[in-house]
Amino acid sequence: MLALALLMPVTAKAASLEELVMPGPVIQGHAKLESDCGQCHTPFSKTSQSTLCLACHKETNADVTGQQGFHGRIKNIATTECKQCHTEHKGRDADIVLLDKETFNHRATDFQIGGAHARVVCASCHVAGKKFRQAPSECVACHKADDRHKGTLGKDCASCHTDKGWREARFDHDRATKFPLVGRHREVLCASCHTNEQYKKTPTDCFSCHRLNDVHGGRFGQKCEQCHSTTDWRRTKFDHNKQTKFPLLGAHARTTCRGCHSEKIFGDKLDTACISCHRNDDEHHGRNGPTCENCHSVETWGKSSFNHAKTKFPLRGKHAKLACETCHKGTVGTEKLGITCDACHQRDDVHKGQLGQKCDNCHNVNGWGEKVFFDHDLTRFPLIGLHAVVPCEECHISPTYKGTTLDCVGCHEKRDVHKRQLGTKCGTCHNPNGWTLWRFDHNTQTDFVLDGAHEGRKCEACHRTPVRGDASLPKACNACHQGDDEHRGRFGQQCDRCHTTRSFKDIRLNQ
């Protein structure tokens, strides 16, 4: 080989030697350097290769020198050879970058990913065809279309917002403006005061924002803070208890001024009698007189101080929640009402009087359907097994309850998988604990023992016709096996004289 090399031209000799020692083709990006090894390698020097790499890759060199970016953050990068990570001569299509997007730790870059950015796919920021380092790092570069301020607040989005979400703003309104947010103002959305994202020259007086909330219609001027506070419009500094002869107690303390003062508010004089304001609220329509306070209090109309328990009919259960007029249709104090259930609930009797008038024998005051007491065991059909948990309406379609059938098939005919082939006396096999919990011993409960080939046959093999009552069949062999009789009746119908139940072919000729 040495002799051959000495005979070749100098240029050809150099190219041949490089090609002989080259371990393999370089990647497509380095293909133009493949003919000149000196671009990437220095003869007899293993440590100068990285210097040549950085001389070509100037952006990476700037990161290493400035200790920034991905390469500038690698420990001992100054003494680390590039080839330790980026191995060449693996072919034109080889991947020497070895970037795994799934496991890449973005904390090793100048842009720390956190908050909502951690859930964004790489392609959202790193555009195809551009280097990863070319991805912008300023908020407005990616979120310009999301800027609801339209650039009026500048480009430093991070001064107010965080990477957790746009809605989480950390703008300190108390320090950065002349209008500290106190009271209910702290709960108001920015857009409630700053319409159309306009933050400059926003008025700070109450009336400018709350003109529509002024129930006084402007009669008391625009200095709302003289009576109201930022805590709640309904809470005012005016003390009705001390400054008037009508202390606001109970529900009166929760009503608005205009609830009673419809015109001049503080200037008009109002009658303090209950009926003067609550005449339209009088559900008794004057039958109980104008002295509402005899029964009611200022807390609520629904609570009455009248103690019905001292009468002959204490109000318990649902009766305690009824309005007086539900029972008292006439003038209270003069009318006389019956105290039996039937006196009020005759129209509610779904039994149509068949069970008498003593409703309380079964029902209670908590509700017609609430814990109804009735001992079904005293009837002709005691409830046992699953019947004990079945709602009454499952069997008693009509609320009169009488005339309900006692037979199983009366309720369960549609569930009879035997289609009445085994009769209608379901209790012969089944019990109320469940359809699947059944037992029937054909050998002891009938006079037809199942042995031989009969043993193990399905019931429907013999019981084929739907019947009412017992599922009885004739015992003669010919009743079932007439079609199997090869003798066509010439030997009579007593097949068991010659044959056995094991098989027709099993013949007892000696008999």
Please give the pLDDT value at position 18.
67
Question: How distant, in Å, are the alpha carbons of 176, 209, 426, 502 from that of 487?
Answer: 116, 111, 39, 19
Q: Which residues contact 202 (CB under 8 A, 6 or more apart)?
A: 179, 193, 194
3-state DSSP call for residue 121?
Answer: coil
Distance of CA 140 to the CA centre of its chain: 37
The winner for highest mean pLDDT among 220-229, 400-409, 445-454 is 445-454
pLDDT in tens, 408-441: 888 888 888 898 889 888 888 999 998 888 888 9
Q: CB neighbours (10 Å) of residue 337?
A: 12
pLDDT in tens, 206-216: 888 888 888 88
- Residues 103-109, mean pLDDT to the nearest whole number: 86
Please give the pLDDT value at position 7.
46
pLDDT confidence of 271, banded at 50, 70, 90?
Answer: confident
pLDDT confidence of 314, banded at 50, 70, 90?
Answer: very high
Cα angle, residue 401 at apex, residues 395 and 407 outer, rounded to 5°: 45
| Residue ranges covered by each domain of the chain | 15-98, 275-339
Backbone angles phi, psi at 236, to 5 degrees: -115, 165
Please give the pLDDT value at position 333.
63
For residue 322, the one-letter residue type is L
Q: Are 323 and 283 in contact (CB under 8 A)?
A: yes
What is the rounded (10 degree) CA torsion for 157, 158, 161, 163?
120
Residue 511 predicted with pLDDT over 60: no
Please give the pLDDT value at position 352.
82
Residue 266 predicted with pLDDT over 60: no
**Cα gap 6→17, rounded to integer Å:** 11
Which pTM value belongs to this model?
0.35
Q: Are 63 and 69 in contact (CB under 8 A)?
A: yes
The set of long-range contacts for 103-109, using a CB threshold of 8 Å and a minimum separation of 24, is: 108/70, 108/73, 108/74, 109/69, 109/70, 109/73
Q: Are 404 and 421 in contact (CB under 8 A)?
A: no
Cα angle, residue 457 at apex, residues 456 and 463 outer, rounded to 5°: 140
For residue 192, the one-letter residue type is S
- Residues 96-108, mean pLDDT to the nearest whole number: 86
User: Shortest CA distance to 110 belongs to which of 145, 63, 180?
Assistant: 63
pLDDT confidence of 9, banded at 50, 70, 90?
Answer: very low
The mean pLDDT value of the chain amounts to 83
pLDDT confidence of 265, banded at 50, 70, 90?
Answer: low
Please give the pLDDT value at position 4.
46
Please give the pLDDT value at position 268.
61
- Residues 180-190, mean pLDDT to the nearest whole number: 88
- DSSP annotation string for 428-478: GTEETTEEEEE---HHHHSSS---GGGTT--GGGT--S--SS-------HH
Helices vs strands, H then E, count in the chain: 17, 4
- Residues 270-299, mean pLDDT to the nearest whole number: 83
- Residues 236-265, mean pLDDT to the nearest whole number: 80
Question: How distant, in Å, are the alpha carbons of 143, 349, 400, 417 from that of 357?
Answer: 78, 9, 14, 43
Q: CB neighbours (10 Å) of residue 426?
A: 20
Question: How distant, in Å, are the alpha carbons of 73, 112, 142, 158 from that of 155?
Answer: 28, 19, 11, 9
pLDDT in tens, 459-478: 888 898 898 888 888 888 88
Please give the pLDDT value at position 5.
45
Q: CB neighbours (10 Å) of residue 488?
A: 7
pLDDT in tens, 47-74: 778 888 988 999 999 988 888 888 888 8
- Residues 371-379, mean pLDDT to the nearest whole number: 85
Angular region, 414: left φ>0, alpha ψ -120 to 50, beta rest: alpha
For the record, the structure tokens of 116 come out as: 């909502």
Residues above pLDDT 90, as percent of the chain: 7
More confident residue, 96 or 46: 96
**128-132, 133-137, 292-296 — which is least confidently predicted?**
292-296
What is the rounded (10 degree) CA torsion for 400, 403, 409, 414?
-40
Q: Are 382 and 428 in contact (CB under 8 A)?
A: no
pLDDT in tens, 80-90: 888 888 999 99
pLDDT in tens, 14-24: 455 666 778 88
